């Protein structure tokens, strides 16, 4: 069967068939294509546009084709360009004239727009579920590390002490925003383009509300031109995936630093590390590096699709076929990275003692010493200067702020007394920081409770946007 027979006298060259063909990558839409066709044909029967007996035969045969695709009994062909025409061709081969009625009042333009939306809705909630698992893992790990003290950094220089729980919860917030960004994108894209046809709707009395409803969308799209040419949601989601990759990549960068010989705050499990082919002592954080590296692909996918879309006149143009590889690549990359990252975090060991030792070195009590003087009546700026001189003295004379004798303290200011040592103890320094969002156990516990509630509230995410399974 030739789809474009009639208008064309010559067969398309093999070169152009290969160039146009998207079947090699859009075959993964088969389930959604069949779902959309069944909704469409049910709609046609509802309005008596095709006889019910034909519609039933089409639906039954499409379901058989679905099983045959799953059972790998079907070979797709480049000659039929894409998944839509391949499936239609198989349908017509199986049931003849009845099969030829499926495409009434429909175009591949609304068909592909629908398939992509169904696929995307289905997959986006899977990414959300992965994010929720990640948030849960980090929150649970935080619960066990409320008093695991470690240095906090700015400029990668030791700054002020925090806890490992407080550190992990910073990433919980990033992943929570990623989750909500996807939530917004799904809500915004939840409209059915089916019935937009090629660009200008159709003269058949179709019921777009009906098909939209049985496919689980909140409503049909309002404008048929926009219905077939909107790819905003793909860009929005790749943008959300890009931010997930930014967060994973920053986290990975820290894992790489924290597992390095000179830090040793964390040790990755053997299962998630690799060795060197020549240096027997090596244990490398390759997975973290690869995730950091793969972020570049996802950003590339985003920029690629933005560029593809920016100059396309309304409505459908073939340029849009380029949406698929970009979206599939970004989706597969982010899902794969989330999976590996989860395993890496779940199995790593946290070196409490090393973190504590690191927190004890590096003059991180300096701000507390300055605050101590300020509370005794000195202006903060004067106190800051004195403590700067004290740190310089300690460096020259091999002291830390904890072991410099009190007589020496007094030489810098008569306001110092023995209670200074308790004041600059790491634990005091952290636990005094009770401000909202700060590292004290009290503040962190409040955050943890909030996250527990968040997880509960959204754990039914997969159910919420479930496609109506008409298959």
Nearer to ligand ARG, 9 or 318 (CB): 318
Position among 87, 91, 112, 244 found at the interface with ligand ARG (CB under 6 A) = 112
Nearer to ligand ARG, 11 or 464 (CB): 11
Torsion sign over Cα 185, 191, 194, 200: negative
Q: Going by C-beta distance under 8 Å and a sequence separation of 6 or more, which residues neighbour residue 346?
A: 137
Contact between 308 and ligand ARG by CB under 6 A: the answer reads no
Contact between 233 and ligand ARG by CB under 6 A: the answer reads no
219 in active site: no
Tokens of 202: 């159709």
Stretch in the footprint of ligand ARG (CB under 6 A) among 60-68, 214-222, 316-324, 338-346: 316-324
Contact between 155 and ligand ARG by CB under 6 A: the answer reads no
Position among 148, 211, 321, 443 found at the interface with ligand ARG (CB under 6 A) = 321
CA-based max dimension of the chain? 102
The least distance separating ligand ARG from the CB of residue 113, rounded to whole angstroms, comes to: 8
The interface mask with ligand ARG, positions 75-94, x = CB under 6 A, is: -------x------------
Nearer to ligand ARG, 22 or 141 (CB): 22
Please list the alpha-helical segments (H only) found in 404-440.
406-412, 420-423, 426-431
Residue 190's closest CA among 147, 148, 237? 237
Stretch in the footprint of ligand ARG (CB under 6 A) among 108-116, 241-249, 325-333, 436-444: 108-116
DSSP one-letter code for 205:
-
Distances (CA, A) of 145 to 150, 175, 254, 424, 447: 10, 19, 17, 21, 14
Cβ atoms within 10 Å, residue 420: 20
Stretch in the footprint of ligand ARG (CB under 6 A) among 177-185, 240-248, 313-321, 328-336: 313-321
| Active-site residue, from 276, 379, 392, 417 | 276
The least distance separating ligand ARG from the CB of residue 26, rounded to whole angstroms, comes to: 6
Query: What b/e sequence results for 102-117 when a residue is b if at least 16 CB atoms lie within 10 Å of its CB, and e otherwise?
Result: bbebbbbbbbbbbbbb
The least distance separating ligand ARG from the CB of residue 110, rounded to whole angstroms, comes to: 9
84 in active site: no
Render 73-102 in DSSP notation, one character per residue. Answer: -----GGG-SHHHHHHHHHHHHHGGGGGGT
Nearer to ligand ARG, 108 or 208 (CB): 108
- φ and ψ at 101, to 5 degrees? -85, -15
Which residues in 12-41 contact ligand ARG (CB under 6 A)? Answer: 22, 26
Contact positions vs ligand ARG (CB under 6 A): 22, 26, 82, 108-109, 112, 316, 318, 320-321
């Amino acid at each position: 069967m030739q789809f474009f027979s009639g208008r064309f006298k010559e067969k398309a060259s093999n070169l152009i068939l290969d160039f146009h063909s998207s079947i090699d990558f859009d075959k993964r839409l088969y389930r959604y294509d069949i779902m959309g066709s069944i909704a469409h044909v049910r709609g046609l029967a509802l309005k008596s546009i095709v006889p019910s007996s034909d519609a039933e035969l089409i639906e039954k045969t499409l379901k058989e084709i679905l099983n045959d695709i799953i059972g790998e009994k079907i070979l797709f062909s480049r000659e039929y360009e894409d998944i839509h025409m391949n499936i239609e061709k198989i349908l017509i081969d199986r049931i003849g004239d009845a099969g030829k009625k499926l495409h009434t009042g429909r175009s591949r333009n609304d068909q592909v727009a629908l398939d992509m939306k169904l696929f995307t809705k289905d997959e986006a909630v899977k990414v959300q579920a992965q994010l929720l698992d990640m948030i849960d893992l980090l929150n649970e790990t935080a619960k066990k590390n409320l008093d695991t003290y470690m240095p906090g950094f700015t400029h990668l220089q030791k700054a002020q002490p925090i806890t490992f729980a407080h550190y992990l919860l910073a990433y919980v917030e990033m992943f929570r925003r990623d989750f909500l960004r996807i939530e917004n994108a799904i809500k915004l894209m939840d409209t059915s383009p089916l019935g937009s046809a090629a660009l200008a709707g159709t003269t058949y009395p179709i019921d777009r509300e009906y098909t939209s409803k049985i496919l689980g969308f909140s409503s049909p799209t309002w404008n048929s031109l926009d219905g077939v040419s909107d790819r905003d949601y793909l860009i929005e989601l790749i943008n959300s995936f890009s931010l997930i990759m930014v967060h994973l990549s920053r986290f990975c960068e820290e894992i790489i630093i924290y597992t390095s010989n000179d830090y040793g705050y964390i040790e990755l499990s053997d299962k998630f590390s690799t060795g060197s082919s020549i240096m027997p002592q090596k244990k490398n954080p390759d997975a973290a590096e690869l995730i950091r590296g793969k972020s570049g692909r996802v950003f590339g996918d985003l920029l690629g699709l933005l560029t593809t879309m920016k100059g396309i006149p309304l409505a459908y143009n073939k340029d849009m076929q380029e949406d698929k590889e970009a979206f599939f690549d970004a989706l597969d990359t982010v899902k794969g990275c989330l999976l590996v990252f989860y395993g890496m975090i779940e199995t790593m060991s946290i070196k409490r003692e090393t973190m504590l030792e690191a927190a004890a070195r590096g003059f991180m009590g300096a701000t507390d010493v300055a605050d101590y003087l300020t509370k005794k009546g000195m202006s903060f700026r004067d106190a800051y200067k004195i403590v700067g001189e004290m740190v310089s003295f300690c460096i020259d004379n091999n002291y830390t702020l904890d072991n410099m004798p009190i007589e020496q303290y007094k030489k810098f200011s008569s306001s110092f007394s023995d209670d200074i040592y308790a004041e600059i103890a790491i634990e005091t320094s952290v636990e005094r920081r009770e401000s909202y969002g700060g590292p004290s156990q009290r503040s962190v516990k409040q955050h943890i409770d909030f996250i527990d509630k968040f997880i509960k509230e959204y754990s039914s995410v997969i159910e919420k946007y479930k496609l109506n399974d008409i298959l």
